[in-house]
Every structure is written in structure tokens, then in C-alpha cells.
Amino acid sequence: MLGCRLEPPRPREPVKRIPCFALRTGGEGHPQGQRVFSKEKELDAWSSLALAPTPTSSPAPPRTAMDSATKDEMQPSIPPGSSCPGPEWPEQERAEQLARGAALKWASGIFYRPEQLARLSQYRSREVQRTCSLEARIKSVVQSYLEGVKIGVWQLAQASEALQAAREALGQAHGLLQDLAETTQTLKPLREQVAQHKQLQVLSQLLPRLWAVPAAVAHTRTLIDAQQLLEAYACLRELEQLQEETWAPLGGLELPVFEALGPLAEALGQAVEVAAGAAGQLAREDPALLVAAVRIAEVDAGYTPSLELTPRDWRQRCLQALQEGLERTHFGTPLLLEPGALKGWLEALRVALPAELATAEALVAPCCPPHYKVVQLWTHTLHHGLRRCLQQLLEGPELGASDAFTLLHWALHVYQGPEMMGSLELGPEADVSQLEPLLTLENIEQLEATFVAQIQANVAQWLQNALDGEVAEWNREQEPGTDSSGFYHSPMPAIVLQILEENIRVTSLVSESLQQRMHAMALSELGTFLRSFSDALIRFSRDHVRGEAMAPHYVPYLLATLNHQSALSSSVSVLQPDGVASGALAPVEAALDELQRRVCRLVLEALLAELQPLFTALPSRRWLSSPELLDDVCKRTERFCQDFRRVRNPAVQLLLAEAERTVVLQYLRALMQGRLVCRGADERTRAAERLQHDAAQLRELFLGLGLEESVQCAPVLLALRDLLNLRDPMLLGLEVAGLRQKFPDVSEDHVSALLDLRGDVSREQRLAALSSLQAGPQPSPPAGRRALFSLVPAPTPTLSSCLPSGPCA
């Protein structure tokens, strides 16, 4: 590096190197270094002890300058530029303090006794020997480092000389390359001349063929127009091959004579597409043309031109043309059907689609390669085209009820049935299982909702028309019509149930979900009809009672409505969906029960209007002496109830029971009015006998009308007879308690009115009898017996006849 050559040093035996920090501090890098410096500290201690007095003398004086000099001689010297830390490091100072402390401790422990001071010279000489050995080793290590540095400097000098020689060689090569480039530029015109010569040579060889290209192009176009596709494709390939032969020698130069090949190939491709698009027709009329088009598409798919041209992909265009032609044949025109015309269009598809699939399997498939999967292609194309067409139809104006039903039935049953996609003639190659549903769940939901909504509107109108026709007959001069059994009869219930049942039965042909929707709609409309029927009855009764429109046969038409209610109740079960709990009919059954109660109430109001004038004279002195009053009641009741025989069971039993209960209640109301007070035991006896006679007469009356005795309420009169016939007033409490057991709803007011009828009860006896009502727990009503006294108003008794704890007190 300094311009002189350095001889390599003589190799020496390697010396074990000691880290620098071990030499300075005796740290973790080298354990022996720690030992050396600890001995150094001991030597300092010896020096201080050699000058110190005995332990009994005064403390040792400070160290002299000679001690510091001795210590400095023993300290290893560090060459300038060394990387070892200087004495300013805190770790070095701490290590030095620890070493001095350890040396002092060791020296004080050994030379604590005076007799041990004689060995001080021995220790000093031994430490001097150790110090000299340490210095020798340090010098050896430093010498080894210096020799390594010397070798490194020599190697760097050798490398610098080699780099300089390489730089000179590269400069010479760069100059040679620049001279070669200048020489190459002079040869460029010559290379161009050579290339032009080669092109002219090729053109001169191909010139006869190139002159024939325009004629070949025109001939090929003529073949395409004549639908001779195979010959046209062969000519096209020859022209393209000639184009490839000229393209490479001319260095990619495109000759104008070949510009017509692109439009020519496109014209042939379009001819192939047209032939594939009419595959069904060609398979029947000209299968050779179809086979030629398919062969051209397949051969061209395996042809890879050497020119950098866009792939024609005629095979894919052929398959696409097959699908588009098939869809265009059956679903090409937009579907704009008039209301009701959908059925005819679907029927035409039911015939055309299986015929198209049969044609594909028998005629088209043999004309195509197996990998075309013609039957599967035809099946899926027709399915997807029909599915798209139906989606467009559903996105348009809302279909009518008839069209919605027709489409649902056709899509869910006819299309998937044995006449079409479920036909056994379709082999596994059709792959029908992979087809998507013709209608999505949303489409089915939309069609079902549309159908049910429109049918519901129609049903509501039909039911309203039936109700209007029935209401119009209520004011006729003739009685209601009867059936062969003599019961009142009207076609209205049958019409209502037929309307609802027929719609439910029809929807069972489509799907279970539509049938359930129709069941729910039928029950809802029947409930609405029953409410309208009930409202019409109220208006009919109100107009009759007010005299605004007097019905000649008011009661018979009310009784006829009971038969209507019975007919609906007995047949409403047909509206219940299969497998659904009977709770679905609960609203309709409740409406029917309400209709029955309302009709019964109107009939009983009419009966009550006839009987109330007769009960104004009961009880009375005339009543005690003659049965004429009750005879009139029975005659009028019997005449009123004669028409009940035209009511069917169980409505007639309910009506008779309510009529008998109405008569008894009216009888009890008359007794409670206080119109009669017996003047003695004779009148009480006659009153009791009259009650017994009246009870028997009422029982016989309603037995004759057909009411069972077990449901009659007339026995209450016998209980009152016992109360009036009792001769000892002191026993009235027992009789009242018995009356309470039979009729728990009897009140103090009722008992007081009966006691007033007796006319012989003192205040104390009355209080005693009334107190029996408060004795014991409230009895439960007997099974099958309805309340009577709670429906009978009683006159408010005087305060003198009330119990202190009674309701009148």
C-alpha cells in the first residue's frame, strides 16, 4: 500500500489470545486474568504491610509513592488505539475497589500476628515471580496480534494489485466492443438487402399461387352461398395455409391480397351458425348440411394457426346457435296473452316440447358428436327458455284467478308428469334431475296469493248474492218451502257450502299449501257470511216489530233460519283441513252458536209478545177459581209452537226447552208482582192446588209438543205449591231451606213475595224463614238445571220484612 512489497512473515506457533477486558479488569472473559489482578492487589497489601507497625502500634501511614510506582509497573500496558475500555468505566473502578478490599482482607487475616511477618519476603518474591510471568504472557499475546495485522496488510496489498490488473483488462475489452459496434453499423444496409432478396425470392416462387387468391376467394364465397360448407371450408384452409407460408418468409408482412380472408372466414362462420340454429328443421329435411356445419366446427376447433390471429371458436358458436335457435322457435316472440289464453298456450307447449325432444333424440343426436349431449342440451335449453318466459309473464300484469290456477297446475303436475318431463321415453341422457324448478318458491307464493285473493273476492260476492236472495224471500206472502220430510228448507245453506267446498276441492289438484290457504279463506268467508246473516235477521226483526215492514210469516222464516243454521253446523266439518286440529273451526262454530241463540231469542220475543197480555191477570181471584187464564196461555203457546215441528233436531228441542222456560219465567214474574194476597187457609189451599194444576197442565202441553220431561222447568211450581200449602207457619224455615236446596238462585225478595202471597206470616215468622236462607254454605245448582229466580225480578220488600244482614236492609 505504501509502494513497497512486504514479505509475508514467518508463521509462528499460535498463541492463545486473552480478551482485552480480561486483562484490564479480570472479569468474566478469562478466569486467570481475575486471579492475576487479585494477586496484584495482594501485592499492594503486602507493600503496605511491610511498612506498617505491629498490630499494637499506631495505624499504618498512607501509602508512599513507591507503592504507586510498584503498582504501575505491574499494571499491563494497553497500546494506543485499543478497543478496550479505559479506566473511566464504572465497572473497572468497582472491580478495582473490590480487588483492593479483598487483598486487604486477605493480608489482614494472614499477617494479623507478629510471628507471621517473618514470611513477608517469601510472599513478596513469589508475587514478583507471578507478575513477571503475567507480563511475559501479555507480551506474547500482543506479539501474536501484531503478526496477524502484518499478514492482513500484506494480503490487502496483493488484492489491490490484482484489482488494478483487472481494471486495465476491462478497459481494453470495452474499447474492442466499441470498435465492433461501429463495424456492425456499416453492415446494416447489406443485411437489409439480403432480407429483401429473400422476400423477392419467396414472392417469385409463390407469385402464381398469389395471383389465384382473388379467384379462390370468390369461389369460396360462391360455395358458401350455395351451402356447400365442407368445400368452402377446404378452400378457406388452403388460402389460410398459403397466407401462413408467405407470412413467415416475409417477416410478418401482411399482403393486401389476403385482406379478404377475414370477412370470408366470418361469412363461413355465420353460415355454420345459421345451419346449427335450424338444427331441428335440417335434421328432418337436410341432415347433410347439419352434419357439414358440425364437422366444420369440430375440425376448426382442433386447428391452431401459426399466425397471430384471434381464435374463431366455431364450436362454441355452434353450440350457442343450437340453443338460441331452439329458444327462438318456441319462445322467440314476447308472451302477451289475453285473459284466459294462457291455457291454450300451455296446452300447445304440452304437445310441442315432447315432440321436440323426440326429434332431438331420433334425428339431431346422430348428426352431432357424442360430447355435444344433444338430448341433455335440448332438455335444458327448452327448460330454461320456458322458465325465462314464465318469469317474464309473472313480472307483467297480474294474472286472473283462472290463469293463475292453470299455470300452477300445469307447472307442478303436467310439466313434471308422465306426458312431459316425467316421460319414461326420456332416457338418462336427458338428465332431468338436474333441472331447476320451473317456478321458484316466490313464484308459487305469488300465484297462490293471487288466486286466493281473487277467489275470495268472488266467493264474497257469491255469498252476498245468496244472502240477498234469502232475505228477499222473508217478506213473501207464502210460507217457507219444505223438504220431503216436512221441515222448512231453503237451498241457501247448500249453495254456500257448495261454493266453498268446490273451491277447496279444486285446489287439492294443485298443492297442499294452496288447499290450506283455501281452507282458511273458506272459514273466514263463512264467518263473515254468518255475521252478515245475523245482522240481516236483526234488521228483519226490527222492521217487523216497528211495523215498518210487516212480514206475513215472520216466525216461520225465523224457524227456517234455524234449519239453515243446523244444516251449516252439520256440514261445516268439510271445510276443516285434513290433519289440522278442530280448533280451526272454533270461530265458525262460535258464530253458528251465536246465530242460533239470536234466532231463538227472536222467536221467544215473539212468543212473549203474545203471552204477556195473558199473564197480567195472573194471579188473581179469578185465577183461583177458574183455569181459564192458563188455558188461554196454553192454547196460544200450543198454537205458536205448532210450527216448531218443522224445525229439525236438535234445534227443535232447544227451542221447545227455551219456550217452556220462557212460559215458566213469565208465570213466576206474575207471582212475584204481589197482585194477590190469600185471605185465609182456604185461599191458600186453592192457590196451592192451582199451582199444582198449572204445573201439570204445562207439563202435558210441552210433552205433547215433544219436549222431554227431564228438561222442563214447570216442577218449580210444585216447590212453590209446597210453600203455600204449609199449614204451620213455624215450619216455613224448613220449607224455605228445601226451596233453596232445589233452586240456589232464589233470593230473599223472592221468598218475601211468596210469603206475602200466603198472607198469614208474621214479622217474626218471616224473619225466621228468611234466616234459613243464610244458614249453611251456598248449595251448588243441581246438574242440568238452569237458573230461574235470578231472571225473575221481585218487588222490593218493606224494611220491616228484611233481615238485618239482608240485601234490602
| Unique residue bearing C-alpha cell 328443421 | 281
Low-confidence winner among 20-24, 126-130, 340-344 (lowest mean pLDDT): 20-24
pLDDT of 18 above 50: no
Report angle CA 777, 782, 788 to the nearest 5 degrees.
95
- pLDDT for residue 796: 63
What is the four-CA torsion angle of 64, 70, 76, 81, rounded to 10 degrees? 50
Please give the Cα distance from 322 to 111 (Å, whole number). Answer: 120
* In the block, residue with C-alpha cell 208474621: 762
Per the structure block, which three cell numbers stand in for 259?
Answer: 385482406
Under the banding of pLDDT at 50, 70 and 90, the label for residue 546 is confident
Listed range (224-233, 372-381, 613-622) with the worst mean pLDDT: 613-622
The pLDDT assigned to 122 comes to 81
Whether residue 518 contacts residue 524, with contact meaning beta carbons closer than 8 Å, is answered with no
Q: Please tell me the predicted confidence (pLDDT) of residue 449.
A: 93
Q: Over 70: is that where the pLDDT of 437 sits?
A: yes
Query: How far from 752 is each of 667, 735, 746, 803, 806, CA to CA, in Å?
Result: 17, 13, 11, 11, 12
Q: Show Cβ contacts of residue 521 under 8 Å, excluding neighbours closer than 6 positions.
A: 452, 455, 456, 459, 503
pLDDT at residue number 446: 93
- For residue 789, how far is the Cα from the chain centroid? 60
Distances (CA, A) of 52 to 46, 101, 116, 283: 10, 17, 13, 134
Taking only the tens place, the pLDDT of each residue in 755-801 is 888 888 888 888 888 888 877 677 776 666 778 888 888 776 544 34
The rounded mean pLDDT for the chain is 80
Which of the two residues, 341 and 656, has the higher pLDDT score? 656
Q: Would the pLDDT of 445 be above 90?
A: yes
pLDDT band for 539, please (50, 70, 90 cuts): very high
Q: Determine the pLDDT at residue 417.
A: 85
Q: How far is CA 677 from CA 74, 160, 213, 630, 669, in A?
A: 156, 157, 142, 19, 15
Please report the sign of the dihedral spanned by the C-alpha atoms of residue 376, residue 377, residue 382, residue 384: positive
Band the pLDDT of 303: cuts 50, 70, 90: confident
Contacts of 198 (CB under 8 A, 6+ apart): 249
Model confidence at 526, in pLDDT bands (50, 70, 90)? very high
Q: Residue 386, SS3?
A: helix
State how far the Cα of 270 lies from the Cα of 325, in Å rounded to an integer: 13
Predicted pLDDT of residue 790: 86
**DSSP-derived secondary structure letter, 117:** G
* CA distance between the termini of the chain: 143
Q: How high is the pLDDT of residue 251?
A: 66
Read off the pLDDT band of 88 (50, 70, 90): low
What does the DSSP assignment read for 44-109?
A: HHHHHHHTS--TTSPPPPPP-HHHHHHHHHHSPP--TT--S--TT-HHHHHHHHHHHHHHHHHHHH
Q: What is the pLDDT of residues 142-199, one digit of tens each?
A: 999 999 899 989 999 999 999 999 999 998 888 888 888 877 887 788 777 777 777 7
- Distance (Å, rounded) from C-alpha 10 to C-alpha 762? 162
Q: What are the tens digits of pLDDT across the range 585-605?
A: 888 889 999 999 999 999 999
Q: Does the structure show a pLDDT above 60 at 229?
A: yes
Q: What is the pLDDT of residue 579?
A: 59
Distance of CA 693 to the CA centre of its chain: 75
What tens digit of pLDDT does each residue of 692-703 get? Answer: 999 999 999 999
Considering only 44-53, 143-152, 418-427, which range has the smallest mean pLDDT? 44-53
pLDDT at 807 over 50: no
User: Tens digit of pLDDT for each residue in 57-75?
Assistant: 333 333 333 344 333 444 4
pLDDT(13) > 50: no
What is the tens place of the pLDDT at every residue in 662-698? 999 999 998 888 888 888 888 888 989 999 999 999 9
pLDDT at 289: 92
DSSP for 414-475, written as a single string: ITTSTTTTT-TTS-GGG-GGGPPPSS-HHHHHHHHHHHHHHHHHHHHHHHHHHHHHHHHHTT
Q: Determine which of 42-46, 89-93, 259-263, 462-466 has the lowest per-residue pLDDT on average.
A: 42-46
Length of the chain: 809
pLDDT beyond 50 at 124: yes
Report the pLDDT averaged over residues 87-93.
71
Higher pLDDT, 442 or 259: 442
Cα→Cα distances 154→4, 5, 80, 775, Å: 10, 8, 22, 140
Amino acid at 491: P
pLDDT of amino acid 111: 73
Closest CA to 701 of 650, 619, 647, 627: 627
Please give the backbone phi and psi of residue 563, each rounded to the nearest 5 degrees, phi first. Answer: -65, -35
Instruction: Work out the pLDDT band at 626, boundaries 50, 70, 90.
Output: confident
